[in-house]
Amino acid sequence: MVIRKVAPGVFLIDVWDMGIPGRTAAYLVQGERKCALIDTGPAQSRKHISRALQEVGLGPRDLEFIILTHIHIDHAGGAGQLLELFPGARVIVHAKGARHLAAPGDLKAASRKARREYPFHPCEFLPIPEEKIEAVNGDRQLALDGRTLTLLETPGHASHSICIHDDLTNGIFVGDSLGVKIDYTVDRQKYEIFLPAMVPPRFEPEEALYSAEKLAAFRPQWFFYSHFGASRETERLLAKYRSVVGRARAIAENLIEEGADEEAASACVNRWLLREVLEIPHANLDKITSQIKVSLELNIRGLVRYITGKKGA
């Protein structure tokens, strides 16, 4: 099933990012008459989202908002394609990302550079007319007849990140602002894959921790993760995110003080993530699918880029 209800008026849509189920989600939020779609997945996800929205009976004029948690390709690459199917929708995005959706040339180039080793992640963006884009500067509210969505600036993972608080569920759509949480079963043993989403081009641990505290102030009952799924273990997951990002910052500071080069920094970060963060027996690590290896590599590169950037400052 492509779409399933996970909370009152909230539906998870598996967008089959990179052709893999259970990696990336979009969310449909239903008001009394209109709906909002949170994130779109990449361009290749159009068929999955289209089928999911048809399954719950949405017509071309029933989608009022397409809200993007940030403009990375696995969250926003399909926004232009979805607008072709739902021409009445407005695209809501952080002001720092708005111009890149209207003229995505630089965004395509940056995506290709960041994901150059992953040819299965083509970097396609369809330009969005400027009149269809609504840029968010600062926190603001959207009325969705019967529920209120509060858009929150949450830099850290990216400078253009936002999260969305839903008053009806007291849930937060966290994008990548609280990391990656994906459950896997290997040899009948369940593992929680948790990574802090420190991906290129710009991860900022201080801002990430500030954003986590901003979300904690809501005392949320739900987290709706883009990677992947809904969870009510909000206190545990917040504590885990704070701990991991705090440790990442400390490791970065030590490596900067030591003058470590890029190779040494990469090796150190890799050891830390494998031994302390992933919590997977080494014997089972190779059995985890390639998507986790991609996420691991991107997390290493993102923190190392932060380290080298601080050294060069």
Which segment of 151-155, 156-160, 187-191, 280-284 scores lowest on mean pLDDT? 280-284
Check residue 309 and give its pLDDT: 83
pLDDT digits (tens, 9 = 90+) for 112-137: 666 555 544 555 777 899 999 999 98
3-state SS class at 147: coil
Q: Which long-range contacts (CB under 8 A, 24 or more apart) does 84-88 make?
A: 84/126, 85/46, 85/50, 85/60, 86/53, 86/58, 86/60, 86/61, 86/62, 87/60, 88/60, 88/61, 88/63, 88/64
Distance CA 300, CA 251 (A): 12
| Domains assigned to the chain | 3-186+197-234 (3.60.15.10), 242-312 (no CATH)
Check residue 116 and give its pLDDT: 56
Distance CA 300, CA 269 (A): 6
Distance CA 69, CA 56 (A): 23
| pTM attached to this predicted model | 0.92
> What are the DSSP calls for 208-224, one per residue?
HHHHHHHHHTT--SEEE
| Residue 33 pLDDT grade (very low, low, confident, very high; cuts 50, 70, 90) | confident
CA 133 to chain centre: 20
